[in-house]
Amino acid sequence: MANEQTATMAAVAFEHVTKRFGDVTAIDDVNLAVEEGAFVTIIGSSGCGKTTLLKTVNALVMPDEGRVLVHGRATSKLNPIELRRSVGYAIQGSVLFPHLTVRQNIGYVPSLLNQRDRVRTHEAVEKWMDLVGLPAELAERFPAELSGGQAQRVGIARALAASPDILLMDEPFSAVDAITRTSLQDELKHIHQQTGITVLFVTHDIDEALDLGDRVLVMEGGRAVQYTTPGEVLHAPATAFVERLVTRKQSVYAR
């Protein structure tokens, strides 16, 4: 009963989720709950199942076994289009609509939700441009006229513009330079503090995982091998793999 109650109260819950692609098991019996308002970073080696797990939340991937719950409701029982409109999704490279301006890209989903209420859509665009640090003068530019960092900010703003309470991010900052990446990380921390949104953030970077997340999920071979606070991952790695992952960071964080 306690596990059922935890899953019901969680923003996202994975109940013994397994996903296979042919003979390859991408996700292997993942069972955990993400609390409302948590910032969860998901880290592991390439091919460990991070992105596949993320995609089960918005039903881009459906599990072969187990189920995924979003606010207590199984994704298999939800309309996938409606689910995706209510869950923000930002990926590497932003993937903007090239024929739409910044304003139109950010306002795309709000315009669908608000229908003819253009004022409400306009307000949403202005709000999120400001929160992600985009100057107003960029609103009428097209994606080809933006820098990499600006385009990534537009992608984040677009993911947030429908005011979702869950944001999925798949290595969104990996294609930008180090200075821009630090700036984007700071903006994301600010947005999380301001909105209380639940964030699931996939990364290959242990620094990013430990610095951004208030919870860290470490995956290895499709399995969730540790799910805890950054400090616990550093001071009490659960497996030899986790220990190797954090060894070079321990001398900094353990002071």
Q: Tokens in use for 207? A: 């620094």
Q: What is the pTM of this model?
A: 0.88
DSSP 92-152: TT----TTS-HHHHHTHHHHHHHTT-HHHHHHHHHHHHHHTT--GGGTT--GGGS-HHHHH
Residue 136 has a CB neighbour count (10 Å cut-off) of: 11
Q: Percentage of the chain with pLDDT > 90?
A: 59
Q: What pLDDT shows up at residue 114?
A: 66
CA–CA separation, 18 and 222 (whole Å): 9
pLDDT in tens, 203-213: 999 999 999 99
Q: pLDDT (tens digit, 9 = 90+) per residue, 56-95?
A: 999 999 999 999 999 999 999 999 988 988 899 988 766 7
In this prediction, residue 217 carries a pLDDT of: 98
Predicted confidence (pLDDT) per residue in 103-116, tens digit: 999 988 777 766 66
Joined tokens for residue 25: 């098991």
Average pLDDT over residues 24-50: 96
Question: Is pLDDT at 4 greater than 60 in this prediction?
Answer: no
User: What domain range is 223 assigned to?
Assistant: 2-253
Number of structural domains in the chain: 1
pLDDT at 124: 82
Mean pLDDT of the chain: 89
pLDDT, tens only, 143-169:
999 998 899 899 888 888 878 889 999
Looking at per-residue confidence, does 218 or 148 come out higher?
A: 218
Could you tell me the CATH number of the domain that includes residue 43? 3.40.50.300
Among the listed ranges 19-28, 111-120, 164-173, which one has the minimum average pLDDT value?
111-120
